[in-house]
Amino acid sequence: MTQTARLILDVPAHLHSVAQAAVVHSLSTDQTNAAGTLSIVVQRSKDGWHCRASYAGAVWDLHDRDITASHYDEGDWLRREKELVRLGVMRVLQEALELPTKPWGILTGVRPTKMLHNMWDRGFSLAYMDTLLREIYGVSTKRRQWALEVAGHQRALFPEDPNRAVSVYVGIPFCPTRCGYCSFAAYPLATHGHLLKPFVQGLVEEITALGALLKELAIPVQTVYVGGGTPTVLQGDVLQQVLDVIEAQLQTAECSEYTVEAGRPETLTEDTVRRLRAAGVGRVSINPQTMRSATLQRIGRQHTPEDVEHAFELVRASGIPLINTDVILGLPGESLADVEYTLQRLEPLRPEHLTVHTLAWKRAAQWESQKERKHVHQNLSHVMVEEARNTAIRWGLIPYYLYRQRDIVGGLENIGYGRPGTESLYNIVMMEEKQTVLGVGAGAITKFVTAAGEVSRQANPKCPATYAQNVGNLVDQKKKRFEALLGV
Ligand code: SF4
């Protein structure tokens, strides 16, 4: 645990919590005992903000004159004061304690690219955005390049209006077993299988009601994403029931993308892929996370690397055109050689999409985090990310979405790569919050997006039983909020 108790902050009262959070962020991945007094002085003048941070002989000064430019308003001034405090804290702690630099500097949010889109919308040039990322946010050269590259690519794909058409996320909260790192709604079938039937009844009811609402409002569905959980734990008639209601209620002529996650490859059968193909599914996600058998067992998965290869064969034979595959870097016990092995073994399968996650420590996960943390090659995680990126690019894929998570190993990021022209619009609009996404099913989150870019959320209960009992209320709330958003 990071020790901050002996560090005294000499900071103006209104900035104390900002500085405190910056200390925690700066020391978060280092086992460092920080003691002594860290001082921050911030002064405002007609020439901008001047900030001085000092700690243990390290002094950092910045006079931000840029903030006086006419495109900045009072809200920007107030935000910049806090940003400078965060930057000052990070800089002096790094210098005095010889800490490694943070790839994303002071940025702690999940969506660094969303911040860039806001700047872009305000007319900032690429060069100026790069300068801000470097000077104010302390972002490394590589992450600046990557974030600008992803954001630039996404802009051409953004819908013009967040509500002319919508996307729909369908959450199926069951899995064969629960992975050690998982924080999603994912109930093992062996213990919760009895909830499947009432859940599917509730899901059919919710999709039918929302489909009717969308038809009434004449709003088409542009993308459908079925996730979870592992949706392909549903088999035979039960799966068909869900596919049928999606087809009847959500698939309009404008529906250009239909993805189903088959995260656990052992759940895919010939019958399942045939049904998916017949229903119009165009993209399936097969997620090995690693191709090392020992790691698969360690993280609580029952399948083998051969199951992954077999699942690819089934999907290819069915004619479904696109396969995404997820890997996780920084899994306990895995070295760079293991990551290289996983990528080499995936290469002949030629996935059209590769999603590269860096392990994140989630509170809802089952792992005894402290015990497993010792087995993560934290220092190698940067190299693993580079290796995965180089591999994806060599496969002809380009990075097209990027996000971060709390407590992610090495302070790094997750990046989605795809073959140009096949990028998942759902991933882009969901990540950048550029279109209303209606969530149906257990644990699904609805994001209402206004024309001005404001986002509000409504979460369905994660528990399948609670969900099934409350579908009527959930639909009513969604209906009211969506109609209010549209001014109907
Ligand atoms: S397959 Fe995915 S959703 Fe299911 S338990 Fe593992 S991480 Fe969670």
Q: What own/partner pairs with CB < 8 Å and gap ≥ 24 does 67-73 have?
A: 71/122, 71/123
pLDDT for the residue 123: 96
pLDDT for the residue 368: 63
pLDDT for the residue 220: 97
96 shares a domain with 205 = no
Q: For residues 332 and 375, is the Cβ–Cβ distance under 8 A?
A: yes
Least reliable range by pLDDT among 146-155, 183-192, 279-288: 183-192
Question: Ligand 1 pocket by C-beta < 6 Å: which residues?
Answer: 175, 178-179, 182, 184, 186, 228-230, 263-264
Percent of the chain, pLDDT > 90?
A: 88
pLDDT tens per residue across span 426-482 = 999 999 999 999 999 999 999 999 999 999 999 999 999 999 999 999 999 999 999
Question: Is residue 145 assigned to a domain?
Answer: no
Q: For residues 207 and 170, is the Cβ–Cβ distance under 8 A?
A: yes
State the distance from the centre of ligand 1 to the C-alpha of 230, rounded, in angstroms: 7
Which residue, of 71, 100, 129, is where some domain finishes? 100
382 shares a domain with 256 = yes
Q: Stretch 304-313: mean pLDDT, rounded?
A: 98
Which residue, of 100, 119, 151, is where some domain finishes? 100
205 shares a domain with 67 = no
pLDDT tens per residue across span 361-377 = 877 677 765 677 777 77
Question: Is residue 150 assigned to a domain?
Answer: no
288 shares a domain with 185 = yes
pLDDT for the residue 446: 98
Greatest extent of the chain over all pairs of C-alpha atoms, in Å: 70
Model confidence at 3: pLDDT above 50: no
What are the structure tokens assigned to 180, written together?
């050690």
pLDDT for the residue 28: 75
Nearest partner of 291 among 260, 328, 257, 240, judged by Cα: 328
Distance, CA of 274 to CA of 318 (rounded, Å): 6
Model confidence at 1: pLDDT above 50: no
Q: Pairing mode, if any, of strands 221-228 and 7-10?
A: unpaired
Q: Whose CA is nearest to atom 2 of ligand 1?
A: 229
Give the phi and the psi of residue 91 in degrees, each rounded to 5.
Answer: -65, -45
Model confidence at 387: pLDDT above 50: yes
Nearest partner of 104 among 158, 44, 146, judged by Cα: 146
Q: Residue 391 belongs to what domain range?
A: 166-483
Which residue, of 85, 100, 115, is where some domain finishes? 100
State the distance from the centre of ligand 1 to the C-alpha of 178, rounded, in angstroms: 6
CATH at residue 364: 3.80.30.20
In eight-state DSSP terms, residue 411 is G
State the distance from the centre of ligand 1 to the C-alpha of 329, rounded, in angstroms: 16
pLDDT for the residue 378: 74
- Ligand 1 atom at minimum distance from 264 CA: 1
Distance, CA of 99 to CA of 276 (rounded, Å): 50
Q: Whose CA is nearest to atom 8 of ligand 1?
A: 182
pLDDT for the residue 379: 76
* Domains identified in the chain, total number: 2
Q: For residues 416 and 353, is the Cβ–Cβ distance under 8 A?
A: yes
pLDDT tens per residue across span 284-297 = 999 999 999 999 99
Q: For residues 255 and 213, is the Cβ–Cβ distance under 8 A?
A: no
State the distance from the centre of ligand 1 to the C-alpha of 228, rounded, in angstroms: 8
Distance, CA of 170 to CA of 224 (rounded, Å): 8
Give the phi and the psi of residue 464 in degrees, each rounded to 5.
Answer: -60, -35
Q: For residues 242 and 277, is the Cβ–Cβ distance under 8 A?
A: no
State the distance from the centre of ligand 1 to the C-alpha of 103, rounded, in angstroms: 28
What are the structure tokens assigned to 35, written together?
């003691």
pLDDT for the residue 30: 61
176 shares a domain with 36 = no
Model confidence at 5: pLDDT above 70: no
Q: Tell me the average pLDDT of the chain.
A: 94
Rounded to two decimals, the pTM is 0.94
Distance, CA of 263 to CA of 230 (rounded, Å): 6
pLDDT for the residue 242: 98
Q: Whose CA is nearest to atom 5 of ligand 1?
A: 178
54 shares a domain with 175 = no
What are the structure tokens assigned to 78, written together?
């107030």
State the distance from the centre of ligand 1 to the C-alpha of 289, rounded, in angstroms: 10
Ligand 1 pocket test, pick from 181, 230, 324, 331 with the greatest ligand atom count within 8 Å of Cβ, gives: 230
